[in-house]
Amino acid sequence: MSDTYILENQHAKYILKIYRDSHRSLHEIKGEIELLAHLKAGGAKVAHAIADRNGNTYQEFNAAEGTRHGVLFTYAPGKTIMDLTEKHMAIVGYEMAFNHNITSSVKLSHERKPYTIDTTLTQPVAILEPAFKDYPEGYTYLKETAAQVARALQDLNTDRFNYGYCHYDYLPKNFHFDEYDTLTLFDFDFAGPGWLANDLMSFTVYLYFYITMNKKTIEEARRDFSVFVDAYRKVRPITDEEINAIPLLGFMFWTFYLGFQYQNFDDWSNTFFGPRFLRERIATIKHYAEIIPQLI
């Protein structure tokens, strides 16, 4: 949803990200920059925006489709590690909780879109209806399950859930480990206010994929998740009720991103989006809903 460039010389490497206006407004971009500044000031290990010599943290570019905005970010040292060890699991849990201690007390002047039942269930399900014209039974499942999830959340005491700015895409593709196992988090493009358990939930998507690829057994993934949560709780409390809500939050996560993919079909030029993709994605959502409760 953006054009990303590596800028480097003999001394350093940076990331230049050029946003699509149809995806992120300048107000939202400023919110991302502001959030990263708070995290950096609080000691979090994140790739942050770099100001130019005039103090500007974003740039304007004249593009064929109109004005686009870009931000230069520090490069996260190290590399992506997909085969995470138990040590890595503990580090991810610790650093996530450390970041949440900061984002739970932040109030941005440039607000970001929130993650609510409306934005992750009601709106996406309504938006997706035309996409399922050739697969009506898939839409029936999506609509009925969304209603069940919404009712289940209403039965929980969500007013006591930890709240703040979530990364909402806490997968290994979005953080690097260096040679000292120092984790640096990046790509806050989807960051927004919501229940902080959303970040723990998004990490379960990684465990789910490893189970489906037969790289982890359910028992191994359950142990990894326990290590991850224990490390998180050493820094920040999270209730069992929040943990138990993860399967519900996971359905919301999949529904949100499915709606986002459909809405941004033209921007992505994602020729994969069609009846076959929808059938495969609904099958994935159903399977995730079966697997994840076994991990928590």
pLDDT tens column, 54-85: 999 999 999 988 899 999 999 999 999 999 99
CATH 3.30.200.20 domain extents, the chain: 2-74
pLDDT interval class at 266 (50, 70, 90): low
Q: Is the pLDDT of residue 42 over 60?
A: yes
pTM higher than 0.85: yes
pLDDT tens column, 166-197: 999 999 999 999 999 999 999 999 999 999 99
Identify the burial level of 79 via C-beta atoms within 10 angstroms of its C-beta, where 0-12 means exposed, 13-18 middle and 19 or more buried: exposed
In the CATH hierarchy, which top-level class contains the domain 86-294? alpha beta
Identify the burial level of 247 via C-beta atoms within 10 angstroms of its C-beta, where 0-12 means exposed, 13-18 middle and 19 or more buried: buried
Distance CA(31)–CA(189), nearest Å, equals 10
Helical segments of 23-171, H only: 26-41, 86-103, 117, 123-128, 136-154
Q: Is the pLDDT of residue 154 over 70?
A: yes
Q: Is the pLDDT of residue 86 over 70?
A: yes
Domain 2-74 matching CATH 3.30.450.30: the answer reads no
pLDDT tens column, 233-255: 999 999 999 999 999 999 999 99
The pair of structure tokens assigned to 181 is 């196992």
pLDDT interval class at 21 (50, 70, 90): confident
**Mean pLDDT on 210-220:** 96
Q: Is 250 helix (H, G, I), strand (E, B) or coil?
A: helix
**Mean pLDDT on 262-270:** 67
Q: What is the pLDDT of residue 23?
A: 85
Q: What is the pLDDT of residue 267?
A: 54
Print burial letters for 84-109: b (CB count within 10 Å at least 16), e (below 16): beeebbbbbbbbbbbbbbbbeeeebe
pLDDT tens column, 116-147: 999 999 999 999 999 999 999 999 999 999 99
